[in-house]
Structure 1
Amino acid sequence: MNKSLEKYYGCEIAIYGIGQHTKYLIDEMLIDKFKNIYLLDNRIANLGKIKYGFKICDINDIKEKIKLIIISSQTYEIEIFNRINHLKRENTKIICMYLNIDKIIKEKKECLTKGFSINIGGGNWHKKRLEKYRLVC
């Protein structure tokens, strides 16, 4: 995972999701390489709180700053992607950590037909949680 993040070193990034997977992700990332890391959550009650040492922000408050969003939720990955995919057009990269390729292709056919770049590849990072594929949208 760190290898695929190298081009974002020195940048501000966000991780969407505040569950246990996010804690593991933060523990594995070279967090000192990034200018800032923000956590994102859609629950208003969590905004402004600190979790795992990082502030939980509203995406609208930081969207101009961030170059990368990592979606760190297996259960809500597609829902989150649908909520934030407009940011891709604003030069923000979105990385989906999990993938059910059949579900993605079925539900995101619109994304595919609009010319978004989709790369599918495996990875050694976090084998127990990372499924057979990873989607970089």
Structure 2
Amino acid sequence: MQLLKDIYNNAEGLKGRRLITITAVLSIAFLGIGIFIGYLNNLILKQSEVSTETVLPPPVVDTSVILEGRVSYTNPEYYPGDEISYVLTDSSGKEISLLKAEDDKLALAEGLNVKVKGVKMTTRAGTNYLLVKEVIINAAN
């Protein structure tokens, strides 16, 4: 206890230039200690941290194809096992693509000028067709 009283009395006796010097030295010393503790803390946290880099999935590429023409019925016996019964034709009647849908949207659009959106597929025989996901009927019909 006596040691604290002596330190207090000595500190009270400091004046002028000596007080400023001791204050500056103590401030720099404690600043150095604080920076050192922060550096050690940062090293410890980095060692215990599991590296989890964010891996983004590859961008989704839309493989949809949009074709325009008139939906016409074709004999499904031409493509056995593939259940293709519609074809998309241009204004002169030339075949653009075979069409297949999982529902009756092509039956409703038969004979109309439409835009069809879907995915290109291949029949068992190797012929390309469009698996239709969406039918857009032109307003000019």
Report the TM-score range of the alignment, normalised by the length of the smaller protein: under 0.3
Structure 1 length-normalised TM: 0.21
Task: Looking at secondary structure, tell me which structure has more strand per residue.
Answer: 2
Larger of the two Rg values belongs to structure = 2
Q: Which has the higher contact order (CA 8 A, sep 6+)?
A: 1
What TM-score, normalized by structure 2, do the two folds share? 0.21
